[in-house]
Amino acid sequence: MTERKLYNVAVIGAGIAGASAAAELSDDTAVLLLEMENHPGYHSTGRSAAMFVDTYGPAPVRALTRASSSFFDNPPPGFADVPLLTDRGVIMIARRDQLGSLDQLMVDLSDTGKLDLLTAAEIEARLPLLRKGYAAAGFANDRVRDIDVHALHQGYLRMFRSNGGDIKSASEVQALERVADHWLITTKTGVYEAETVINAAGAWADRIGALAGTASIGLIPKRRTAMIIATPDDVRTDEWPMVIDIDELFYLKPDAGKLLISPADETAATPSDVQPDEIDIAICVDRIERAFDLSIRRIENKWAGLRSFVADKCPVCGFDQEVPGFFWLAGQGGYGIQTAPALAKAAAHLVRRRAVPPEILEEGVSLADLAPGRDSLTVKPH
């Protein structure tokens, strides 16, 4: 009988969270990356229209985003053959009845740097398709950029492979057993052994935790719907910023000569190959047509993905308090792409029992805000 290789670390899930953590670890660690689908990034990572937005998410997420900026601007040599970021910008718009939301958001984002308040006239000048009189005010953040999600994900997978990491696709985890000081990991393609397991299984993370005998972190997968529509023949939107409703009831974003639109839905769902619901599509079309001078007769493409949250909407990154050798890397919600570089580097250092790099902590990242045992993990903040 051939003796199985004992890996230092097995990472479950090869989406952006798992791929980035595996890549960061693989330079001096024997790492196995397990993916249940036939190819990595099939679920949330492959369906993300991600942006690098330093004003998006709660304070710990914004800190991780800031700490990821240098990687996006200067990735390692050979990481990608295209820029990871391209200029986009965002305008958040508020109707007259939403001005209270605008005021509160400006207070909440006071730590993020300069945001340009815009009058109704200034918004209409920058967004010719916006219906006149729809927006009463808003703000612009010109620091926002598009992320090339495919290039980022493939860059991490390439880094992982070049460092000698092993990846096994179509390897859904069926059982986890702690034997002495390591794990036996039973999958559809075989049994593997590792000293440490990193749970980067996205919407399936609580299920993986249950296999390992951990307590639930209260993860709730939520469906997000998106679709592509045509632009009017006489309008060029390529240079437009992304437009987001101040209460996040919809967004609109130029996408390769088309328009990507979403109702920004967050509907609780079970982990699955989630598909768009017709009612969400109808709601999106109604909201977009009310805000913009558009008559949407045809949806050219539509899809849905799962964004998984814990109660405080911050990632969970750290060793489980009760089960030895089990590391959580989950709950990234809608922020997983833009925070991946900093979160992966932090996770890799924690797994190795090393101090997190100061350049991450100096951006305001607190490990206590990410820890699996934090008080706000399952109790929603007021």
Examine the pLDDT at 46 and tell me if it is beyond 60. no
Tokens of 154: 């493939």
Examine the pLDDT at 146 and tell me if it is beyond 70. yes
Q: How confident is the model at residue 311 (pLDDT cuts 50, 70, 90)?
A: very high
Helices (H) and strands (E) in the chain, counts: 9, 20
Q: How confident is the model at residue 177 (pLDDT cuts 50, 70, 90)?
A: very high
* pLDDT tens, residue by residue, 118-145: 999 999 999 999 999 999 999 999 999 9
Q: Give yes or no for a contact between 206 and 316, defined as CB atoms under 8 angstroms apart.
A: no
pLDDT at 13: 97
Q: Which residues contact 275 (CB under 8 A, 6 or more apart)?
A: 303, 304
pLDDT at 44: 56
Residue 221: beta bridge partners? 308
* pLDDT tens, residue by residue, 7-29: 999 999 999 999 999 999 999 99
* Cβ count within 10 A of residue 46: 17
What's the rounded mean pLDDT across residues 37-55? 76
* pLDDT tens, residue by residue, 193-249: 999 999 999 999 999 999 999 999 999 999 999 999 999 988 888 889 999 999 999
Q: Tally the C-alpha atoms within 13 A of residue 190's C-alpha that lie toward its C-beta.
A: 11
Tokens of 91: 């305008």
Percent of the chain topping pLDDT 90:
86
Examine the pLDDT at 376 and tell me if it is beyond 90. no
* pLDDT tens, residue by residue, 284-309: 999 999 999 999 999 999 999 999 99
Percent of the chain topping pLDDT 70:
96
Burial class (CB in 10 A: 0-12, 13-18, 19+), 339: buried
Residue 303: beta bridge partners? 226
Q: How confident is the model at residue 1 (pLDDT cuts 50, 70, 90)?
A: very low
Closest CA to 339 of 317, 320, 312: 317
Q: Which residue has the higher pLDDT, 377 or 260?
A: 260
Q: Give yes or no for a contact between 53 and 109, defined as CB atoms under 8 angstroms apart.
A: no
pLDDT at 256: 87
Tell me how far apart the alpha carbons of residues 19 and 370 are, in angstroms, rounded to a whole number: 19
Tokens of 2: 């051939």
pLDDT at 191: 97
Examine the pLDDT at 260 and tell me if it is beyond 50. yes
